[in-house]
């Protein structure tokens, strides 16, 4: 199984996440752009992900919720910047529980001959915001999401028959 790398260099307000998937770039891109697929892999396993809005275009808005077993919900939203393509997706990201702390996230999909290197670069407004994200337990959510994403692309790649 691939290992997710999470890098947060001291003094730099960004987090870089990388993971190689045994799947072609177009399948990984599809898993990032089809709202039904996004709901299957995004977020920690203990939450149901509900896609409220997903306007995949320059200036398009997105919003999703994580719903716990107790019914409590956490909302996240943002705006896509530029036309999403297999070369990359750029969007803002804001947790509704802490309004005004927006980050810019870029996801790129590097073709590696049938495999794909996914790299997300999240740039924060401050080191305090970045450190707050790390302290929130984001590593657990990232690990769960990447494992679930791996399962989704494996299903997409499986021969039908």
For tokens 């997710």, the residue is: 4
- Confidence class of residue 69 from pLDDT cuts 50, 70 and 90? very high
72-112 per-position pLDDT tens digit: 999 999 999 999 999 999 999 999 998 999 999 999 999 99
148-157 per-position pLDDT tens digit: 999 999 999 8
CATH topology of domain 5-42+83-157: Alpha-D-Glucose-1,6-Bisphosphate; Chain A, domain 4 (3.30.530)
Crossing angle of helices 25-33/138-157, nearest 10°?
120
C-alpha–C-alpha distance, residues 7 and 39, integer Å: 25
pTM (two decimals):
0.93
10-27 per-position pLDDT tens digit: 999 999 999 999 999 999
Q: Is the pLDDT of residue 161 over 70?
A: no
Backbone angles phi, psi at 91, to 5 degrees: -155, 155
Domain map of the chain by residue range? Answer: 5-42+83-157
Average model confidence (pLDDT) for the chain? 95
What are 118's two structure tokens? 């996914």
CA proximity to 41, closest of 160, 159, 157, 154: 154
């Amino acid at each position: 199984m691939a290992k997710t790398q999470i890098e947060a260099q001291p003094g730099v307000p960004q987090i870089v996440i990388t993971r190689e998937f045994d799947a072609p770039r177009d399948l990984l891109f599809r898993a990032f752009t089809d709202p039904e697929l996004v709901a299957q892999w995004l977020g920690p396993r203990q939450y149901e992900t509900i896609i409220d809005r997903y306007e995949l275009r320059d200036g398009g808005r997105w919003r999703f919720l994580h719903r716990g077993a107790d019914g409590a919900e956490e909302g996240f939203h943002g705006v896509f910047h530029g036309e999403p393509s297999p070369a990359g997706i750029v969007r803002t990201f804001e947790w509704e529980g802490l309004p005004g702390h927006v980050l810019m996230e870029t996801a790129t999909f590097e073709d590696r001959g049938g495999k794909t290197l996914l790299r997300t670069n999240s740039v924060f407004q401050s080191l305090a915001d970045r450190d707050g994200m790390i302290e929130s337990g984001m590593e657990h959510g990232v690990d769960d999401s990447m494992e679930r994403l791996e399962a989704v692309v494996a299903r997409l790649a499986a021969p039908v028959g």
